[in-house]
Amino acid sequence: MALKQFLSQKMDQRLSPQQIQLMKLLQVPTMELESRIKQEIEENPALEEGAEEVEEDEFEEQEEEVVEEDFNIEDYLADDADYKTQVNNKSKDDEEKVMPLSGDKSFHERLTTQLHMRKLTDNQLIIGDTLVGNLDESGYLNREIEAIVDDLAFSYNVSTNEDEVVEILTMLQEMDPAGIGARDLRECLLLQINRKQDGDISRYTAKKILEDHFEEFTKKHYKKIMKRLEIDDKNLKDAIEEIVKLNPKPGGSMKEAAGNYQQIVPDFEITENEGKLSLTINGRNAPELKVSGTYKNMLRAYAEGAKSTKSDKEALTFIKQKLDGAKWFIDAIKQRQNTLLLTMDAIMNYQKNYFLTGDETKLRPMILKDIAEIVSLDISTISRVANSKYVQTEQGIISLKFFFSESLSTSSGEEVSTREVKKILSEAVENETKKKPLTDEKLAILLKDKGYNIARRTVAKYREQLNIPVARLRKEL
C-alpha cells in the first residue's frame, strides 16, 4: 500500500497553560505554597508581594489613545488583589509561626567522628567512611560486602578484600549507638544484648533465643522454645521482656537521625460553637499579591510611544508577557483559594455529625464523586484538593483523606462507612485477651453479631489495612 499525505480537521480539547497552572497549585499544601510563590516572584519581576495600591489616576482619558493593536492597557493597570479583601479569614500575620526542628548531628556524622578517633590507616578510614555512607536511616547495612569491595576498587582505587571490610564493620558495630551496622534484625538485637551480658539469667536466655531460636521467636512458637531450652513460662516471659527493650532501629534512636522533621501546617480550621460549625482557611493560602507598579508604568510609557523600532515592539511584548503571567498567577491563587474553601465546606457539611461529636462511627460513607457532585467540579480536582491537605479540628489535625471511605450495608440495609467497621474491629483487637487473641473467623462473627455481614477474607483485608498482625503474632504470655 502506497503512502499518501492528506489534510484533516478534528476537534480536540486541551487544557490551557492557566488551567494547568491551577491544577498544579491545587495539589500544593500550605507549607509549599509560600515557596512556590517566592519562586514565581523570582522568575517574574512583574509580580510582587503586598497589598495593591489604589491609583488616583486611572488613565481614563488616555485609554482611547493608547488602545492600538489587540489589547486594552486598562486590563494591565487594574487592581488584582481584590480577592484578598473578599475573604473573611485569618491574615498571614495572625497565623501561628511554626518552625521545623533542625537536626544537630546525624548518626552518620557521629559514627564518622568516632571512626576518625581510631588509629587507622588511610585505606581503613576510606573503608570505614564507605561503610558508614552505606548505612540506611535505621542504621542497617543492606549492601553485600562483596559489592562494597567492588565500590572501593572502582570509586576510591582501594584494593581490599571481604575479610578486611568485615574487620572494619566489626569495629563500627562496637561504636554507639548499640546495634549500629547490623546486616539484619537478628544481628542488630544480638549486638545490643551482648553489651548487656552481666550474669543476668534472663538476658542469657534472651541471647540464646536470638542465637538459636530466632525464627520460632518471630513466629511466636513459644512452646517449641520452652521445650528446647527447658524453661517455664516465667523464664520465657522474662527473656522476651529483655528482647522487647532492645531497639530494632538504632539509627533512628537519635532524633536527629532522620534530619529535619516535616512540620504539618493545617490548611483549614473547623471550630464548633453551640452546635454550629465554622470553617476558616489558613491565611497563608490567601497571600497578598499584586502586579508591579513599575511594570505598569513601563507599559504605559511604551504604549504612549510611537513603537517605531523593532526593539520598542519587543520590549512592549516582553512587558505584556510578564504582566499577563503575573495576572494569571494571581488569578490562579484566587481560584485555588475559592476551590479549597468550596470543597472543604462540602466535606464539613457532609461529615457534620463527626465534626460535632468526634466519634469515628458517625462518619458517613464518602467518595470523591460525592463531593464532586456537590460542588460541581471534576473528580480529579477534588482528588488534588484532598491530596496532602490537613484540617485543624477539635479532635486534632486530620488529613482530608481520612474522611473518604467506601460504604458497607448492614443487616438492616443501612449504608455505613467502612471506617466505622474498622474502628469496631480495632477496638475488638485492643480489648481482646492477649493470651488467646481473636482469629479472623471470630472477628467476623463478632461483627456479624453487631449487624455487619462481613466475610472472613474481608475482615483479613481490613485488619491488614489497620496494620494489625494475625492472631498468632498478637499472642502474649
User: Are 273 and 374 part of one and the same domain?
Assistant: yes
Instruction: Tell me if 459 is assigned to some domain.
Output: yes
The verdict on 67 and 152 lying in the same domain is no
User: Based on the domain organization, do 319 and 346 belong to the same domain?
Assistant: no
Please tell me whether residues 273 and 297 are part of one structural domain: no
The type of residue at 373 is E
Claim to verify: residue 352 and residue 465 sit in the same structural domain = yes
- pLDDT value of position 13: 56
Query: Residue 2 falls within a domain, yes or no?
Result: no
Are 272 and 249 contained in the same domain? no
| Domain count of the fold of the chain | 3
Same domain, 423 and 327: no
Mark whether 375 and 412 lie in a shared domain.
yes
**Could you write out the three-class secondary structure of the chain?**
CCCCCCCCCCCCCCCCHHHHHHHHHHCCCHHHHHHHHHHHHHHCCCEEECCCCCCCCCCHHHHHHHCCCCCCCHHHHCCCCHHHHCCCCCCHHHCCCCCCCCCCCCHHHHHHHHHHCCCCCHHHHHHHHHHHHCECCCCCECCCHHHHHHHHHHHHCCCCCHHHHHHHHHHHHCCCCCCCCCCCHHHHHHHHHHCCCCCCHHHHHHHHHHHHCHHHHHCCCHHHHHHHHCCCHHHHHHHHHHHHCCCCCHHHHCCCCCCCCCCCCCCEEEEEECCEEEEEECHHHCCCEEECHHHHHHHHHHHHCCCCCHHHHHHHHHHHHHHHHHHHHHHHHHHHHHHHHHHHHHHHHHCHHHHHHCCHHHCCCECHHHHHHHHCCCHHHHHHHHCCCEEEECCEEEEHHHHCECEEECCCCCEEEHHHHHHHHHHHHHCCCCCCCCCHHHHHHHHHHCCCCCCHHHHHHHHHHCCCCCHHHHCCC
| 55/192 same-domain check | no
Vertex 323, ends 322 and 328: CA angle to 5°?
Answer: 100
Q: What is the pLDDT of residue 82?
A: 47
Examine the domain organization and report whether 438 and 399 are in the same domain: yes
Q: Is 100 part of any domain?
A: no
pLDDT (0 to 100) of residue 99: 43
> Residue 303 has what pLDDT?
64
pLDDT by residue for the chain (477 residues), tens only, comes to 567 777 777 666 565 666 676 777 777 777 788 788 888 888 888 787 776 655 444 434 433 444 344 455 555 555 554 444 344 444 444 444 444 444 456 778 888 888 888 888 989 999 999 999 899 888 899 889 999 999 898 888 888 999 999 999 999 999 888 899 999 999 999 999 988 877 788 888 999 999 999 988 888 888 898 888 888 888 888 888 888 888 888 887 554 444 444 567 888 999 998 889 999 988 776 677 877 777 777 777 766 665 557 777 777 778 788 888 888 888 888 888 889 999 999 999 999 999 998 888 788 888 899 999 999 988 988 888 888 889 999 888 998 988 888 777 666 666 677 777 888 888 888 888 888 888 888 888 888 888 888 888 888 888 888 888 888 778 776
Q: Report yes or no on 361 lying in a domain.
A: yes
Boundaries of domain holding 450: 268-280+339-474
The per-residue pLDDT for 107 is: 79
Tell whether 412 is covered by a domain: yes
In a domain, 208, yes or no: yes
The structure's pTM equals 0.54
Same domain as 180, residue 323: no
Residue 36 CB burial class (10 angstroms; 0-12, 13-18, ≥19): middle
Residue 371 forms part of a structural domain: yes
My answer on whether 353 and 416 are in the same domain is yes
